[in-house]
Amino acid sequence: MKATGIIRRVDDLGRVVIPREIRRTLHIKEGDPLEIYTDREDRLILKKYSPIGELGTFAKEYAEAMTQTTDHIVCITDRDQVIAAAGSARKDYIGKTISKELEEIINGRITTKHFVKVTDEESEELYPHVVCCPILGEGDINAIGSVILLNKDDKVRMGETEWALARCAANFIGKQV
């Protein structure tokens, strides 16, 4: 842990204001759920809650099964980062922060097949063939993540099969949350 030098008081309702700079840095928006932890040294730890992150092992296995079936690179994200990835470029995506463009697609609940930059990394390889489908949690108004299929082979086109597969995966994962 690193000190920020910022001190806040608890109000009479038990609330503490998280400073704007910290919320911006950690991508915490109004309405985002936070998990509260304590440790043995009487420290209070707030962690941004990710329902898809809770399904990390499941998401990884699902992505691997999709890659084995389609030969595409598959990424499963929450609203902040890539939770699971499978395929030849798995290590380039796993755990990386998602791009602003992908965040807008997720927030807009848009299914797209045009190029989407997955992470905010400058060195990310560009894939011309992409299918991206938002994951909607059961009863949630907002999308909670996305399923992305990527392929750079010009002989391979993303068609209705990939669309259906991405929608199916997003719906199934959304029901697990």
Residue 13 has pLDDT above 90, yes or no: yes
More confident residue, 96 or 109: 96
Residue 140 has pLDDT above 70, yes or no: no
Q: What is the pTM of this model?
A: 0.75
Type of residue found at 28: I
Cα angle at 76 between 25 and 53, to 5 degrees?
Answer: 60
Architecture label for domain 1-49: Ribbon (2.10)
Residue 174 has pLDDT above 90, yes or no: no
Type of residue found at 106: I
Report the pLDDT value the prediction gives residue 139, as an integer from 0 to 100. 64
**Helix H or strand E segment including 177:** none
State how far Cα 168 lies from the chain centre.
17
Closest CA to 53 of 74, 27, 80: 80
pLDDT digits (tens, 9 = 90+) for 17-57: 999 988 888 888 888 888 888 889 888 888 877 777 777 88
> What average pLDDT score do residues 145-158 get?
86
More confident residue, 47 or 170: 170
Report the pLDDT value the prediction gives residue 50, as an integer from 0 to 100. 74
Mean pLDDT of the chain: 86
* Assigned CATH class of 53-176: alpha beta
pLDDT digits (tens, 9 = 90+) for 73-100: 999 998 888 999 999 888 889 989 999 8
24 contacts: CB under 8 Å, gap ≥ 6: none
Could you tell me which residues are beta bridge partners of residue 71?
Answer: none
Q: How many CA atoms lie within 13 A of 122 on its CB side?
A: 0
Please give the share of the chain, as a percent, with pLDDT higher than 90: 28
CA distance readout (Å), 101 to 20, 107, 169? 22, 10, 21
Residue 136 has pLDDT above 70, yes or no: yes
Helix (H, G, I), strand (E, B), or coil: what is residue 171? helix
Domain ranges of the chain: 1-49, 53-176
> Rg of the Cα trace of the chain?
18
Residue 142 has pLDDT above 80, yes or no: no
141 contacts: CB under 8 Å, gap ≥ 6: none
Tokens encoding 80: 């902040």
CA distance readout (Å), 129 to 16, 133, 138, 163? 46, 14, 29, 12
